[in-house]
Structure 1
């Protein structure tokens, strides 16, 4: 096994010294320079690259993760984030011009938005993905020019110790530091004023973080997880859905904030989908085999004895009620547990257990029969806002309907849990699943203050005379309307339906112009006039122009 350092808690005195040191660094303004940011971003990449085997060994020691899962979820996404930031940082740092839609009075004032670092950041990571959930936000902080303190989770001590060793070796120790410890360390950190706080974890602690941040009016990003639902539509491919869903649900044995928590299956598919799930489990992870969930190479383990006991109690209670349709293998001595399937009554009627009340965060998948897609949407909207939502259907229209009638941090059509590793889309929750987001450009913005700038040089004084007394006369009022205002540049609306038709006509015209260009090019290439006329007529009829 790779050489891994021992876990040591950071003393409160060192926390104070670290905070003061990083504040002094920020006050020096050197973290704002693009070269400083790029250097530390590149160093972070080589921190991961040079120590990949140690990172994998730490993930295995803390949670029993295989090298495949550690690379997939911890190493590759973080390197992808860094690569994007290094590639795009000069572009991200540029001021955003806001001249086009400004009124005449501000056209020459160079209206723009400057993105400046908010200050020293606090990043509080989670134990289930200790590298990705700390280093990925750190990428955003470095890119934005913010020094940062990383608070590692004490529930992943080997990973925490490794990060604490590596950060000062690779990054500027005056700008970036790691704090290890439990509640006392977190409390000490939260008592301080920060430029931004990024927290990943459960809702109860998230409320504590938000409350502490409110005392100093510190902006926060809270990624809190929650019960992420899946809707299986009548036209879903059940085999593909089962395979894709369970390949994600088995990762970290369900200890993942975007893991499918429960499945809403339309009534005609419930039995067939349940059978498909069981077949898939027994095909890919047959009991008493090398691919069994009890085998160390096939699966991780539950975090600790308390979590294991909670999950076992949930399954025991469900089994007493005749709700368990498939119970996975279990090895209590090693905190290892296979995936189990629990089927509830229609719409989970009269169910008040943990299965419907709280995030499961473990290897249990709940199946809930519903009447139709509308019933599934109603069920989701009646509960807390989820971090992720999944729709399995052959129809994109079904996906779009669900998206338009629900709210969630993210949504995926026919796959699961991919948004956290897609570097070009923001990752975060809404409502009970958190607020704010990060990853890629959105991570850069999370740690940046978007500062409005205007410039009114002295030579523009000739245009300012109407602001000085005496200025109340008809000529000045006309000038005020012309220069400062825009007036109403649209007709009085008639109805929602008329606005809908106007939008449709505008879209259709654009499509028609494109069609004209295409068929004109076809004529130039030698197509006959009759063929061109036929295509134009068909296009016009289809677009109802």
Structure 2
């Protein structure tokens, strides 16, 4: 809908959303008009948006922490570090490097082209759709937004309805700080997402599970829209006898039980040799008790499962093995205890799909070769972790397995390095982002060739062809 007086799409509440189909139409139109007007292209606009985003994160930090407590019972320290500061750091890094990451890049030309000069220009794609997940409902919505804005795009954001407090907060505050036409927030569930996917965007960025990722990709295929899919998978951990067991256990326990296990790159299961199973289980149990006390349900630092449905799903996985630690569930409180499972069969339910909860199976294998075979027999994971001091083992894991990323003697923290790409491979996703990779994802790299005055070496390739031309160009 175009407003007659302004010649631009009529405003609909400054970017806030309703459930009406007409409103979604208007919001998409507003974003498209903002991009087509050209105002998102200047670096000054991009800088202003990134600076405003950081102001929003700082000024609204108490409200963000409160929304995360409501949706996920996420403690304030974890919320501040993983959902607020991490995004602020990404925006600051992008601001520092914005001019360098977006400037024209000269490239070499063949001598045969004489005076011609070549360059690559990064230009914004247009209007992009970002669909966020519920497990890190602020971080994983705003991190791709940084790249989209830095590249000069208009953006339609769809926060997850499964984290309703965070969704409502983003719909409220983002239009107050950012360009309320160029950045639209659409709230709602499956119906609203389906309507959004009926529109033709210039890129779709989706974070979530593979089943919905397939739906997003199928919808995008109808209009040949490129997609980035940040999915997940069962991220394995290998621990061998050279590892410092207590240090490895503390790291694994932190990575698995933070955010109640609802992290896409959390350790999903551990592979180790039979003699290390019990000592490792004991060390992880000690680490969990050190973090959350004897009863994690009473700890202010331990979160909750997002809803009762997912709590019941996780409860159904506990029969897959013997609970060495935990195993307690309180559906009404959305509580699943930090759990370590032993005697887990490879074909048991807990070993089929990504667990996405605080249940850690430890599976015994004969050695490294069997561990690699075990990993390779399953879909490619988003992350793979190895706890070892042996260079040869690290090289074997790197060379003989495929995963989105690899971490040695650490978990999850690879996400905090802006110069590393983050993304999956195969069933764990396609595309990558973070740092300059985000700008690349949301840009078109336009090839430009400029012939300057001077001799024309291509004249030889135009007919009529003389005997000399034929002698010079035709071989054999």
Equivalent position of 1:426 in the other structure:
421
Residues 434-445 of structure 1 mapped to structure 2, 5 A cutoff? 434-445=429-440
Question: Do structure 1's residue 271 and structure 2's residue 278 form an aligned pair?
Answer: yes
Equivalent position of 2:269 in the other structure:
262
Structure 2: segments with no counterpart, 5+ residues? 1-15
SS in 2 for 1:142: helix
User: Structure 2 CA distance, aligned partners of 1:188 and 1:301?
Assistant: 31
Contact 2:292/2:302, CA 8 A, preserved across alignment = no
Equivalent position of 1:36 in the other structure:
45
Contact 2:17/2:23, CA 8 A, preserved across alignment = no
User: Structure 1 CA distance, aligned partners of 2:328 and 2:457?
Assistant: 79
SS in 1 for 2:137: coil
Question: Do structure 1's residue 471 and structure 2's residue 474 form an aligned pair?
Answer: no
Equivalent position of 1:129 in the other structure:
136
User: Structure 2 CA distance, aligned partners of 1:480 and 1:93?
Assistant: 42
User: Structure 1 CA distance, aligned partners of 2:189 and 2:165?
Assistant: 14
SS in 2 for 1:221: strand
Deviation at 1:281, TM superposition (A): 2.5
Question: Do structure 1's residue 373 and structure 2's residue 368 form an aligned pair?
Answer: yes
Question: Do structure 1's residue 74 and structure 2's residue 74 form an aligned pair?
Answer: no
Equivalent position of 1:533 in the other structure:
none
User: Structure 2 CA distance, aligned partners of 1:107 and 1:263?
Assistant: 59
SS in 2 for 1:30: coil
Equivalent position of 1:343 in the other structure:
342
Contact 2:114/2:455, CA 8 A, preserved across alignment = no
Contact 1:8/1:161, CA 8 A, preserved across alignment = no
Deviation at 1:8, TM superposition (A): 6.9
Residues 141-152 of structure 1 mapped to structure 2, 5 A cutoff? 141-152=148-159
Residues 336-415 of structure 1 mapped to structure 2, 5 A cutoff? 336-344=335-343, 348=345, 351-415=346-410
User: Structure 1 CA distance, aligned partners of 2:265 and 2:195?
Assistant: 30
1:113 to 111, 114, 120: 120
SS in 1 for 2:297: coil
Deviation at 1:124, TM superposition (A): 0.1
Equivalent position of 2:320 in the other structure:
318
Question: Do structure 1's residue 334 and structure 2's residue 337 form an aligned pair?
Answer: no
Deviation at 1:105, TM superposition (A): 2.1
Deviation at 1:318, TM superposition (A): 2.7
2:36 to 27, 32, 35: 27
Question: Do structure 1's residue 306 and structure 2's residue 309 form an aligned pair?
Answer: yes
| CA distance 1:472–1:388, shift in 2 (3 Å) | farther
User: Structure 1 CA distance, aligned partners of 2:455 and 2:225?
Assistant: 39
SS in 1 for 2:356: coil
| CA distance 1:379–1:306, shift in 2 (3 Å) | same
Structure 1: segments with no counterpart, 5+ residues? 1-6, 482-545
| CA distance 1:107–1:55, shift in 2 (3 Å) | farther
Residues 197-212 of structure 1 mapped to structure 2, 5 A cutoff? 197-212=204-219
Deviation at 1:456, TM superposition (A): 1.9
| CA distance 1:448–1:179, shift in 2 (3 Å) | same
Equivalent position of 1:454 in the other structure:
449
Contact 2:17/2:171, CA 8 A, preserved across alignment = no
SS in 2 for 1:416: coil
Q: In terms of mean alpha carbon deviation, does 389-398 or 468-477 score higher?
A: 468-477
Larger Rg: 1
Deviation at 1:25, TM superposition (A): 1.5
Equivalent position of 2:237 in the other structure:
230
Residues 174-189 of structure 1 mapped to structure 2, 5 A cutoff? 174-189=181-196
Q: In terms of mean alpha carbon deviation, does 120-129 or 301-310 score higher?
A: 301-310
| CA distance 1:111–1:285, shift in 2 (3 Å) | same
Q: In the comparison of the two structures, how many residue pairs are matched?
A: 460
Equivalent position of 1:52 in the other structure:
61
Q: Deviations over 1:27-84 (max 9, x none)?
A: 1222111111111111111111111111111111111000111011100110011001
Equivalent position of 2:180 in the other structure:
173
Q: Deviations over 1:214-252 (max 9, x none)?
A: 111111110111100000122111111100110121111
SS in 2 for 1:366: strand
SS in 2 for 1:250: helix
User: Structure 1 CA distance, aligned partners of 2:99 and 2:60?
Assistant: 28
| CA distance 1:170–1:283, shift in 2 (3 Å) | closer
| CA distance 1:46–1:355, shift in 2 (3 Å) | same
Contact 1:123/1:149, CA 8 A, preserved across alignment = yes
Higher helix share: 1
Contact 1:294/1:329, CA 8 A, preserved across alignment = no
User: Structure 2 CA distance, aligned partners of 1:97 and 1:107?
Assistant: 16
User: Structure 1 CA distance, aligned partners of 2:455 and 2:18?
Assistant: 61
